[in-house]
Amino acid sequence: MDWKPHAERLAAEVTPPVSRWRDAVAGTPRHFFVPRWWEPAGGGTWALCDGSADEAAWMRAAYSDTSLVTRVGPLHADNASPEGQPAGLPTSSSTMPGLAVRMLRHGLLYDGADLGLIGTGSGGSTALAVHRLGDKHVTALDVDPYLTEAATARLASLGMSPRVVTCDASGPLPGDFDRIVSMVALRSLAGVLAALRPGGRLVTTLARMNVIITADKEADGVARGVVEWDRAGFMSVRSGADYPPGASELFAAVRGREGEDVTEGRYPVLNVAEAWDVRAMLELAAPGVETYYEEHGEQRTAWLVHRDGSWARASATWIQPPTVHQGGPRRLWTVLERIRHRLNAEGGLPIYGSRVHITPDGACHFTRGGWSASYG
């Protein structure tokens, strides 16, 4: 199978001609790391794709700048039956190559730097890092023993032998590093900050916030940096085989319930998960809130739910003012509308481009102008 022309085309798409990452992308057989993957099948289910059954489709998928889902719930595509169509959330993937390169570039890697790469996944991003830094300077970490075993074997077959470790990135990390780049969205930064050497650089996103943070650790143990004018969506870090149920049971219970407060909303119904700057600000204002959204023709409905029992549902036709039902201890839609009002009034939200400092307890503090907020 001649994969090199496909990899060279992908490299030209996701890197500029003078980039040191171009040869890494062009020299990485991504299809080798993703022999099977999942694609949406409708109704919240997933269909298995087997590369060996259709090599042309395999090349198109593997050498496109898209993420390929490799694990749904606890079921990895490598071990799945073609007849099954699992339902659930993706729990691992092969990150889109352009995004992997962007995250690594934000790390400002240099020759001889020791890199901790969180989220081994398929192993493809680890291969890119090894191309740049060499085996002995790359440590890849993942919570899933199957993922680390499979990635180790696939990397070894390509002559690569980085350190690959099974560990929970929400706790202490094994070792210390000059650079830590996370390909999963973290909830607490205490463990990664402790594993960062003084002068070291952290690049990560945060759970439920599609922001890229870059911060450099200083002598006082605090990391200071910025929220980049860039954004990325990664799966949240997990500690077990699957994500906990979250607020899904509450969502089912309140899906069609009459609210304690019923009002007319000020703004059209919004798919909050896709409005990344709004979603980030909502997480800071109401940490842990989960979002759901449906469209049926021109009818739009959005839900906000929280484990504390708060919930909101807004429904309307197209861009008409929605009917809003709210219940529980907090009025979540009211919180959301305050954020949207600020967006309309100021033309933007302060999260992107803000300054950030991360304290040793893992809390992340944002400031921009007169605005401030904290996460964790």
Distances (CA, A) of 57 to 13, 42, 52, 62, 123: 19, 20, 9, 8, 21
Neighbouring C-beta atoms of residue 57, cutoff 10 Å? 12
Distances (CA, A) of 292 to 170, 315, 343: 26, 12, 21
pLDDT at 194: 97
Q: At the fourth CATH level, which superfamily is domain 4-227?
A: Vaccinia Virus protein VP39 (3.40.50.150)
Q: Which residues pair with residue 116 across a beta bridge? A: 139, 180
Q: How far is CA 322 from the centre of its chain?
A: 30
Contact between 261 and 270 (Cβ < 8 Å): no
pLDDT at 359: 98
According to DSSP, the β-strands at 223-227 and 209-217 are: antiparallel
According to DSSP, the β-strands at 299-305 and 311-317 are: antiparallel
Enumerate the domain spans of the chain: 4-227, 248-346
CA–CA gap between residue 263 and residue 265 (Å, rounded): 6
Domain 248-346 has what CATH class?
A: alpha beta
pTM of the predicted structure, to 2 decimals: 0.95
Q: How far is CA 220 from the centre of its chain?
A: 29
pLDDT at 239: 86
CA–CA gap between residue 328 and residue 147 (Å, rounded): 40
Low-confidence ranges of the chain (pLDDT < 50): none
